[in-house]
Structure 1
């Protein structure tokens, strides 16, 4: 259903992989979307498209748009695409037939349903950071931090406040007591407009919480982005937990819908914004919807679908290149499909939007999971408490760069346990809406933990997924930038290639299991994953499990 690479450990899977200006002038990346909500149906209005053109072919692509019956609305020359409007369903194929056009994708950012605001949700109480405690109250539950030595590293190198970490996700609860001290509200942006319903009239994000349908920058109505941000940088403040790099700043760069979908345009906007403001490292625990695997020439797809997948591949690569060229280190979750990404065979999840559009299709290694398989991205597999690759984690010799704790409820004796997941901050209103806490605030299961140290309560949740693994790697990258970065735009700068090299050097090597065909026991059946490669680089662990302590102590 959704693009997020994360699982709730107890109960049903809710967040899974598990949305300008005149021609030739780019829009400023700092601008946020303007809501355009109409009571008209999608079929009764012009649709908007991203039309990607080949290098040096802007004018030719503009002409192709006009011939196909469309109108150019704006141009983003940074990433090489036109925003166009058209009223005919054949527009993508007609425009895409021109050799100057390399991809066409519908822009699903703008809603077409009637706005139905709900009553405002109460904000979590803000509690300023107090005297630092050397051990946070819930530290004993953080097996993940002990595994990578973060419990020791954050006392030696907690991270510099000059380091900006961008969380490209569903939002961040900036008022959560264990995030607020490190949350940079001024730089945070939301590039998403909530959509109450999808193109078929089915519930998508649900009723808008504000009249504009654009949530404030300190709101997360899903909880996924808050969990990620907490793992990276929950402060040492005497409550809850501590993140991998508890001294750095978190910038919310929202690209995900409340429903968990990540569409192309907001993802492009988020990456270009990160590059423009001097963000040091971004965490991307998602794939770009609606295709799990983007195949440029799959014979089972229509021409329109092929053009859309090409647009995702090309557009995201341009945005990633744009950000990386401006000093942004790119970290991505690998995915939760339990698939060897070097040898994929079947895609059962695409197209994932609108819901119910999925079909089974054959895929091969020419089909890419984006951004995990895009160039210049550090892709992270997940391990459980024993250090084995998590059963759900994707893998692959060419795809896995490093591994990190992501949790695995099955990794241990005595059946599944939620406490083998990753504990991090959760928005209280999300837990209430999901029924995970009762009216008095008491957790309804072992997957949710409440900490009322000092009389003010905050909430945390165990989740598992490569979404949870990636922020551990992002936090270690932030430690490295804190140590070796030089003053520059946004604070400290360290070339992404240098960060990547140091991250690989400091990772703890881990060999493939013996035998290499590792058999998982999962709810009464056996599942086999084949690990390829040597100790220094293999499909399960890449260059090894990230190590915060080594990152805090390594010499260049």
Structure 2
């Protein structure tokens, strides 16, 4: 590792050569009018493919390897960077969300993967498997007595929503759903349609469908019920099939969320390729960075922060996952061993200060969520940090209940909807659509209609619980917007979430120790703060019943 100089991280010439291949697609930011920016881009040899004028951003293509240098020299342009690197990844790369489906050394205990209807007449058929909604009181006998999310629009910025899933179809608004991505064969595998632009009602990754089910799987006597089972789901696809979330697509989705009048948006991802985005070399304590890479991080910061602020200003309550790196985000420094995560095999370990931001979750208007297991203990993988995490929610934790028969049981994770074709492709289901192990469930009704569900864990799973409760709050406390719509200022939603959350004290001794769960001591989490507010749980564990009933 090259030692840092007095001016911060040194330039890594080898890395610069690795990432210098022009890929033809760029994000350009501008300060003037779109017309002036377009003229400047064209003069630099670029073609404008799309403009998001609300935050001064353009998507540009150019075959010129010197395009970035030329366009940055134009006075109308405030920044430019590559949007992604085509041809530097490979189909079959590790699943972007692979850590959310943990592997176990021994076969898990449990049932056959099929489930029968529980005895409770008012519950959904798989309700007995939903410890997560029971924990937060998002049940027919709890919060749903008062609020179900009706009249509230929830955007899912993710890899898509499988709108054909029987538990999601009743709630998906196809007319307002959008796909901001184009499949890239070198990254995502073969395109499913000739144009490589999928319809806005599919999910070829599965992550977005799982998130959407937690928020608003319908209360339709089928499968599971979401936290807000009558909320309207709007698919804002910004994630590639491979799970990458590129800059232009992410910003465009956020801006659209504000313009289309959504009430709540869930964001269970970070904007690639940087886990943490720095603004200067002085923020690097160890590691190297090229001028090009630093410019890219600066552009991500500027545009994502502006887009988050724009959506928030237009009434959108924004909820995000805190991350699965088991790091204390409030600590002075952060270790990052995964960035940049594209082009392929270019990641270099670095240590940066905590002013380098994971976005969008660390934007000031985003409610950042940590994850707990069914015991209510912070999951070992979950990021945390006093002042960084606002609230905790069920995220699942396979290693919960260590020392008991429940240790490493699939039921420690969170069950939600999943696209059947993705499940078959990933080997979660056989060619007939039947689960291959206890980590997935198939439910079929008397008419022979079937839905597929799988267990996952992660802060990606925790965040949509908070987004669902936010939808319940908007319904219960919001004002009418005409017809059946409701609206409530994001600050008020955040205030109710904080006040109603169930306090969770720090562990005895002030440290959550994970060595019994076979984690190294570096995973142990120091809990700063009080029972009211602390670094592991923020204001506490989200409580749907208290939020809408005032308890």
- The TM-score range, normalised by the shorter chain, is 0.7 to 0.9
Provide, for residues 50-79 of structure 1, a one-character-per-residue CA deviation record: whole Å limited to 9, x for no partner: 22245x698997787678665666653310
2:129 to 122, 138, 141: 141
1:296 aligns to what? Answer: 279
> 1:501 maps to what in 2?
495
Residue deviations 1:257-281, cap 9 Å, x none?
Answer: 0110000111111111111111100
Q: Which residue of 2 aligns with 1:235?
A: 218
Aligned to 2:198: 215
Whole-angstrom CA distance in 2 between matches of 1:420 and 1:492: 35
Once the two structures are TM-superposed, the CA of residue 254 in structure 1 deviates from its matched residue by 0.6
Match of residue 480 from structure 1:
473
Provide the rounded CA distance (Å) in 1 between the counterparts of 2:25 and 2:450. Answer: 45
Matched, 1:172 2:161: yes
SS in 2 for 1:345: strand
Work out whether residues 222 and 260 of structure 1, in 8 Å CA contact, stay in contact via their aligned partners in 2. Answer: yes
Task: Report deviation, 1:187.
Answer: 1.2
TM-score normalized with structure 2 length: 0.83
Q: How does 1:523-538 map to 2 (within 5 A)?
A: 523=518, 525-526=520-521, 527-538=523-534
Q: Which runs of 5+ in 2 are unaligned?
A: 1-18, 90-119
TM-score (norm 1): 0.82
Corresponding residue of 2:95: none
Q: Could you tell me how far 1:440 is from its partner in structure 2?
A: 3.1
Question: In structure 2, what is the Cα distance between the partners aligned to 1:247 and 1:341?
Answer: 35
Residues 388, 74 of structure 1: alpha-carbon distance in 2 compared, 3 angstrom cutoff? closer
Paired residue for 1:78? Answer: 54
In the alignment, does 2:387 pair up with 1:391? Answer: no
- The reply to whether residue 444 of structure 1 matches residue 424 of structure 2 is no
CA deviations over 1:208-259 (Å, ceiling 9, x no partner): 1111111122211111111111001111111211111111111111100011
1:250-399 equivalent positions in 2, closer than 5 A: 250-298=233-281, 300-343=288-331, 344-399=333-388
Work out which of the residue numbers 188, 209, 229 in structure 2 matches 1:205.
Answer: 188
Offset, 1:49: 2.1
Counterpart contact for 2:88–2:344, Cα < 8 Å: no
Contact 1:294 1:367 in 2 (8 A): yes
Deviation at residue 181 of structure 1 after TM alignment: 1.0
Asked if 2 retains the 8 angstrom alpha-carbon contact of 1:271 and 1:319, the reply is yes
Q: Is the 8 A contact 1:156 1:552 kept in 2?
A: no
Q: Which moved more, 1:446-455 or 1:313-322?
A: 446-455
Q: Which residue of structure 2 lines up, in the alignment, with residue 434 of structure 1?
A: 426
Q: Distance in 2 between matches of 1:428 and 1:51?
A: 38
- Determine the C-alpha separation between the residues in 1 that align with 2:38 and 2:443: 57
Residue of structure 2 in register with 1:540 after alignment = 536
Q: Secondary structure at the match of 1:538?
A: coil
Residues 269-328 of structure 1, C-alpha deviation per residue, up to 9 Å, x if partnerless?
A: 111111111110000000000111111213521111111111111101111111111111
The residue that corresponds to 1:200 in the other structure is none
Partner in structure 1 of residue 94 of structure 2: none
Query: 1:182 pairs with 171, 176, 196, which one?
Result: 171
Contact 1:423 1:463 in 2 (8 A): yes
Deviation at 1:517, TM superposition (A): 2.1
Range with bigger deviation, 394-403 or 516-525:
516-525
Distance in 2 separating the partners of 1:46 and 1:292: 21
CA RMSD of aligned residues (A): 2.7
Deviation readout 1:167-214 (Å, 9 max, x if unpaired)? 0110001111111111111111111111110xxxxxx21111111111
Contact 1:154 / 1:246 at 8 angstroms: preserved in 2?
A: no
**Cα 1:43/1:315, change in 2 over 3 Å:** closer
Unpaired runs of at least 5, structure 1: 1-41, 114-131, 198-203
- CA offset at residue 513 of structure 1? 1.4
